[in-house]
Chains A and B, each alone.
Chain A
């Protein structure tokens, strides 16, 4: 469904991604592991159209090249990013944040049903419809950020470090919500430092090291890999 071919990205002289080729199948969860600075966030941002790859690479979404599309067109095509640090509209209420999420034309029909679905999936948001986003706790904000992304009815949901800064209890709440989304058929690309949770959730893993794909495989294969254990699981 989503395929990155020979994608390279550079910030000035520093090459953040080097010749990355990744295949993401529909209705699957793909996790990307890697050290901080390995290029995981850059990969997600490049897919979302926030960063332009160097010439020579392609990003195909449903066989259509999207590597030159503006970010809003990428969302319209069906790819939604939940960025690191949440990036909510702080001065807007929960409901308004969600409604903005449904801005793409494709997502406008059925907006109210989808809104109800989010409020069921995230009951805390239902209790706080009129609260301003900036006054919510970190965990609630993260839930809202995910719900807002889901409002655009994405075919693929990109999650950048969703558990960052959440208390242990909220982390387990978050992952059980993600599990429910996956069971409902949502395709997800997950970047997460919580490598154990990623391995539990994902169908397929890519490991990024210094901007290159270092290895790929199923979670079971990854758990056996000595290099992975040492580098990312702290064993």
Chain B
């Protein structure tokens, strides 16, 4: 979409909101109450998708947060004024979600869904118990009388805030972090993202919005009871609305919510007795035919229209397209479009900034006058057991600063476990790991990344739904020297150029070949600006010609001042690159020295090389 189209869209949206705001003056009471239902659903579905859309943690706790808001207002309005009550609802919802989030966001997949469902049930039971046994009245009266037009306007504001807010979040670092968490939490952690904090914070922000909507909504009723406040219908309606509209677009859930309310109204009128059956059938049809939601389809349609118009314009020689059409638009409607907003925004808004922030060809950070002397990292007495299997046993070695150290050994000898221990992915049972004088055992993965240790994974972990460019931007946005998305974008492109992926910046991770995925991982690791780079079989699966290129690349990385530890089975690379080699077998170090020394060691030949390679 061009700048002009964007301005028009913005204008149209503003006028639309203004009309909606003025509308109640001419509407019947029925019209106003319909508007209230629409806006509440838009705000709730958008808030739900703010967290659950990108992270893919499906929450059924919407009703719990709505209910908390309603009950906060119901309790507080007796003694406090309305504005304070509503602020209180938002705060209570936020704090409640903070507690819930801290205790549950470790849960994944179906367990999280069940927990949130259970939370709503629990809240309903507890509130019923309280009202029956303590106050002896199930209904709690709301004694404020407030014009429904005011409720209408308040909910309109909340809906607009929710949509604009979640659009804004999606363009920030926080938005990138949320998507990374949804794609692969492990990668997110190792890229420097404080996964727990991001999840809990956004979960609580979304909950706070839900409670606020609940608080306002409660003003419609003369009284509330636990089934109104904590009714599961809230949770399911919101979920369905978001899925219908497209949970991974900021404006998708809003569209879904509007359509859902429309559809329900229509079905109630047309099939009053069989309403729920008809609604159910509609959902099945929707989920079957548009699994990603409507928003990506609509974007695709607009993209096609824009391209058709450009093609027509180009034919008549009128306007050349400002930006060459990007293939990614069509490539993957589910995920492909989501990143386009950022590059476009950037090229539209910051031509000057881009020039100012462009770095030179050398992107990897230098440490002043060269690598510091001595050991970059010292491992001492390291031990890790999985049940009865001791994967790493009393392991000690140093990684000399500025050099390339090789870690070799048979499959299953514990090499990858050592990398997991260094990066905080696994806690060791005993021993110490010292990074330039600082003990790093017990330090969490994201902090280790920020302490400038980066890694790649043996089984390649590129975020499958993110573009090549976004994968690399993540490293720059959350690594040891975090930047804003715009700077990260420029530098990501330069890094991609360096590993030979410049022409594939817009492809989705899952569309890349194996070797390209490995390149993306390396670029992402370099983007975090490491002083120590851990490579886990990065050269595996290359043919001899590609291997030479790979070896050259690693050597250049080292020459720029980055210390490298490489786990590798390709002896050619070990011989060519490593000044220092550690050999492991069954969790223990069996040899250490220069490549020539260890590769001629009979122990190493016997357990690792076999007879063929010993001669070579």
Contacts and interface: CB of A to CB of B under 8 A. Distances in A.
B327 interface: yes
Contact of A35 (B412, B511, B545): B545
Contacts of B612: 168, 172
Interface string A154-175: 0000000100111111111100
A14 B504 CA distance: 11
Interface stretch (B158-166, B170-178, B535-543, B554-562): B535-543
A204 B421 CA distance: 46
B223 interface: no
Interface in B456-512: 458-459, 511
A233 interface: yes
A55 interface: no
A169 B331 contact: no
Residue of B411, B547, B609, B611 contacting most chain A CB atoms (<10 Å): B411
Interface in A182-235: 193, 195-196, 230-235
B608 interface: yes
Interface string B510-546: 0101111000000000000000000001001111111
A12 B543 contact: no
A231 B569 CA distance: 22
Interface string B112-126: 000000000000000
Interface stretch (A22-30, A74-82, A134-142): A134-142
Given A164-B540, A168-B608, A230-B545, A37 B411 contact: no
A139 B541 contact: no
Given A165-B569, A232-B543, A170 B327 contact: no
Given A13-B330, A36-B513, A167 B569 contact: yes
A84 interface: yes
Given A36-B514, A195-B543, A232-B543, A168 B613 contact: yes
A36 B608 CA distance: 27
Contacts of A140: 411-412
B182 interface: no
B540 A13 contact: no
B431 interface: no
Contact of A36 (B330, B542, B569, B571): B542
A193 B570 CA distance: 12
Contact of A167 (B411, B458, B541, B544): B411
B331 to A, nearest CB: 5
B570 to A, nearest CB: 9
Q: Taking chain B's interface residues, is the majority helix, strand, or loop, or is none over half, making it mixed? A: helix
B411 A166 contact: yes
B400 interface: no
A36 B610 CA distance: 27
B579 interface: no
Contacts of A139: 410-412
Contact of A85 (B331, B459, B511, B516): B459
A234 B545 contact: yes
A167 B409 contact: yes
Residue of A14, A138, A165, A167 contacting most chain B CB atoms (<10 Å): A167
Contacts of A168: 569, 571, 608-610, 612-613
Interface in A28-58: 33-37, 41
Nearest to A42: B513
Contacts of B330: 12-13
Given A137-B410, A167-B569, A167-B608, A232 B542 contact: no
Contacts of A34: 543
Contacts of B458: 165
A98 to B, nearest CB: 20
A33 B610 CA distance: 26
Given A11-B511, A13-B330, A169 B540 contact: no
A137 B546 contact: no
A165 B13 CA distance: 54
B137 interface: no
B300 to A, nearest CB: 13
Contacts of B344: none
Contacts of A169: 410, 607-610, 613
B543 A35 contact: yes
B108 interface: no
B367 interface: no
B548 interface: yes
A139 B540 CA distance: 14
Given A37-B516, A234-B548, A12 B569 contact: no
A75 B408 CA distance: 37
Contacts of B613: 168-169, 172
B601 to A, nearest CB: 14
Nearest to A164: B541
Interface string A1-19: 0000000000111100000
Nearest to A39: B513
Given A165-B537, A173-B610, A233-B545, A36 B410 contact: no
A13 B327 contact: yes
Interface in B50-66: none
Interface in B363-412: 408-412
Nearest to A13: B327
Contacts of A37: 513, 515-516
A41 B613 CA distance: 28
A33 B546 CA distance: 13
Nearest to B416: A138
B543 A36 contact: yes
Contact of B546 (A11, A36, A165, A235): A36
Interface string B440-454: 000000000000000
Contacts of B548: 234
- Of all A-B residue pairs in the complex, the 7 with the closest CB atoms, nearest first, are A137-B412, A234-B544, A169-B610, A36-B515, A137-B411, A37-B513, A138-B411
Interface of A: 11-14, 33-37, 41, 84-85, 136-140, 161, 164-173, 193, 195-196, 230-235
Given A11-B511, A12-B511, A168-B613, 6 more contacts: A36-B543, A37-B513, A168-B569, A169-B613, A172-B613, A195-B543
28 contacts: A13-B327, A13-B330, A14-B511, A35-B543, A36-B515, A36-B543, A37-B515, A84-B514, A136-B412, A138-B411, A139-B411, A139-B412, A167-B408, A168-B571, A168-B610, A168-B612, A169-B607, A169-B609, A172-B611, A173-B610, A232-B543, A232-B544, A232-B545, A233-B544, A233-B545, A234-B544, A234-B548, A235-B544
